[in-house]
């Protein structure tokens, strides 16, 4: 229980990051480009286009949790039990989300066809014919975490690309770590040979920064409490980096690495200070722990379906009404995710135990 505020801080960040992804996709679906002139429109555009940055944050957080689980297990680590836990965690949400996507995308592309579902409405997040990505092969590839590797992301749910990256990082890290820990030369060479084939090496580097946060944060905790001013300064640096990286031309991979480094600094300092124990964050922390994955995995097909009745043929010029839609429509996705997660994420432990029993193995907490 003493550790709970330590991790509530991370769960609050998960909530904020998931919401930023949703609002970024909604903004792409609704607001036309070029942007209507005006400083207010530019500011709102800056605030509502942080989806990719939020995904980078998710990768850092994921690296933190996975490295923590593997390192803390020590010599007792079981790769089989670990993979049962990881697959249960991913599939318990992904499979229902794919079925939900089929229902919405088929209805949208056949019963309510429009330029949005045809990929010609202008939205960057749906710049293809959705019906062309509803095949069984694409569905199966997404189930096996091969989206944007061997098959496209399923239907309108382009956000699923990052889940494939996550899965292969989940597989790769513990194998490489165990080979290094045991000084298994064959395993080390195999890990080195496999590294270039990981999807998006820069994002894997961001993911590993999260693991570095875990290792260093544990040392910070042993050394004592961090004054709140340090994470406050790190947060200010993170915000400045977000603005600067938007304005300065830089290779996308370098932008991601710079952002991940700034966020990792904030995370490591914040979770060990009173800054990460602010009052009134319990609701946000609970949503992040229980529903953020559901929100990420289900929001895009739902938002595309709803926007098909609002902006089916063309996006709207930036205006107070259009921005109101961008800011309010994500509430529907949040409400849906809260319900969806009760039927899926809340069942993760039960599914994991069932899978372990079905395979005749003793489950090891991961």
311-361 pLDDT, tens digit each: 999 999 999 999 999 999 999 999 999 999 999 999 999 999 998 888 875
Per-residue CA distances from 3 to 7, 9, 219 (Å):
7, 11, 15
How far apart are alpha carbons 281 and 12 in whole angstroms? 7
Place of tokens 């004054």: 227
At residue 119 the predicted structure's pLDDT band, cuts being 50, 70 and 90, is very high
The total of other beta-carbon atoms located within 10 Å of residue 195's CB is: 12
Place of tokens 């989300």: 97
pLDDT at 2: 45
pLDDT at 196: 92
Residue 226 has pLDDT above 90, yes or no: no
How far apart are alpha carbons 26 and 333 in whole angstroms? 10
Given a contact cutoff of 8 angstroms between Cβ atoms, the answer to whether 256 and 203 are in contact is yes
The total of other beta-carbon atoms located within 10 Å of residue 84's CB is: 23
pLDDT at 225: 73
Which of 56, 74, 53, 78 minimizes the C-alpha distance to 244? 53
How far apart are alpha carbons 311 and 302 in whole angstroms? 14
pLDDT at 366: 39
Q: What is the dihedral of CA 313, 315, 319, 322, to 10 degrees?
A: 80
Given a contact cutoff of 8 angstroms between Cβ atoms, the answer to whether 38 and 316 are in contact is no
Residues contacting 179, CB < 8 A, separation 6+: 186, 187, 188, 190, 191
pLDDT at 227: 81
Residue 17 has pLDDT above 80, yes or no: yes
Mean pLDDT of the 50-76 span: 94
Residue 271 has pLDDT above 90, yes or no: no
Count of residues in the chain: 366
On average, the pLDDT of the chain sits at 91
Which of 131, 174, 176 minimizes the C-alpha distance to 152? 131
pLDDT at 283: 82
At residue 50 the predicted structure's pLDDT band, cuts being 50, 70 and 90, is very high
Residue 221 has pLDDT above 70, yes or no: no
At residue 1 the predicted structure's pLDDT band, cuts being 50, 70 and 90, is very low
pLDDT at 275: 61
279-296 pLDDT, tens digit each: 557 788 889 989 999 999
Residue 132 has pLDDT above 50, yes or no: yes
pLDDT at 9: 85
**Residue of higher predicted confidence among 366 and 111:** 111
pLDDT at 365: 41
Q: Which residue spans within the chain are E strands per DSSP? A: none
Specify the range with the lowest mean pLDDT, choosing from 1-15, 102-116, 259-273, 327-341.
1-15
Q: What is the dihedral of CA 128, 94, 340, 278, to 10 degrees?
A: -100
Given a contact cutoff of 8 angstroms between Cβ atoms, the answer to whether 185 and 233 are in contact is no
How far apart are alpha carbons 218 and 211 in whole angstroms? 11
Q: What percent of the chain has pLDDT over 90?
A: 77
pLDDT at 345: 94
pLDDT at 364: 44
148-161 pLDDT, tens digit each: 999 999 999 999 99
Q: What is the DSSP letter of 226?
A: B
pLDDT at 248: 86
Q: Give kind and range of the element (H or E) at residue 79.
A: helix 79-106
pLDDT at 230: 86
At residue 277 the predicted structure's pLDDT band, cuts being 50, 70 and 90, is low
162-199 pLDDT, tens digit each: 999 999 999 999 999 999 998 889 989 999 999 999 99
The total of other beta-carbon atoms located within 10 Å of residue 336's CB is: 18
pLDDT at 222: 57
Specify the range with the lowest mean pLDDT, choosing from 128-137, 240-249, 318-327.
240-249
**pTM of the entire structure?**
0.92
């Amino acid at each position: 229980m003493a550790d709970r505020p330590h991790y509530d801080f991370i769960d609050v960040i998960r909530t904020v990051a998931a919401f930023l992804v949703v609002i970024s996709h909604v903004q792409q679906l609704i607001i036309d480009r070029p942007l209507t002139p005006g400083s207010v429109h530019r500011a709102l555009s800056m605030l509502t286009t942080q989806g990719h940055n939020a995904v980078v944050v998710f990768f850092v957080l994921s690296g933190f949790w996975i490295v923590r689980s593997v390192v803390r297990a020590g010599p007792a680590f079981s790769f089989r039990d670990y993979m049962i836990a990881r697959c249960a965690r991913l599939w318990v949400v992904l499979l229902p989300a794919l079925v939900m996507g089929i229902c919405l995308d088929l209805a949208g592309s056949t019963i309510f066809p429009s330029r949005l579902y045809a990929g010609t409405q202008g939205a960057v997040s749906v710049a293809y014919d959705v019906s062309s990505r509803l095949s069984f092969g694409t569905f199966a590839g997404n189930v096996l975490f091969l989206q944007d590797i061997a098959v496209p992301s399923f239907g309108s749910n382009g956000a699923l690309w990052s889940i494939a990256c996550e899965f292969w990082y989940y597989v790769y890290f513990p194998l490489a770590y165990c080979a290094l820990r045991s000084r298994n030369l064959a395993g080390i060479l195999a890990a080195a040979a496999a590294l270039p084939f990981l999807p998006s090496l820069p994002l894997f580097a961001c993911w590993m920064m999260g693991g570095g946060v875990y290792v260093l944060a544990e040392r910070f905790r042993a050394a004592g409490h961090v004054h709140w001013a340090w994470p406050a300064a790190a947060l200010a640096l993170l915000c400045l980096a977000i603005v600067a990286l938007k304005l300065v031309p830089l290779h996308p991979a370098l932008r991601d690495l710079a952002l991940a480094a700034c966020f990792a600094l904030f995370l490591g300092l914040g979770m060990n200070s009173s800054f990460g124990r602010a009052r009134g964050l319990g609701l946000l922390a609970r949503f992040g722990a229980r529903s953020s994955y559901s929100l990420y995995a289900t929001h895009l097909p739902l938002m595309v379906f709803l926007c098909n009745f609002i902006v089916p043929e063309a996006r709207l010029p930036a205006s107070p009404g259009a921005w109101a839609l961008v800011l309010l429509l994500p509430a529907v996705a949040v409400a849906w995710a809260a319900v969806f997660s009760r039927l899926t994420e809340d069942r993760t432990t039960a599914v994991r135990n069932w899978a372990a029993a079905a395979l005749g193995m003793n489950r090891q907490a991961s």
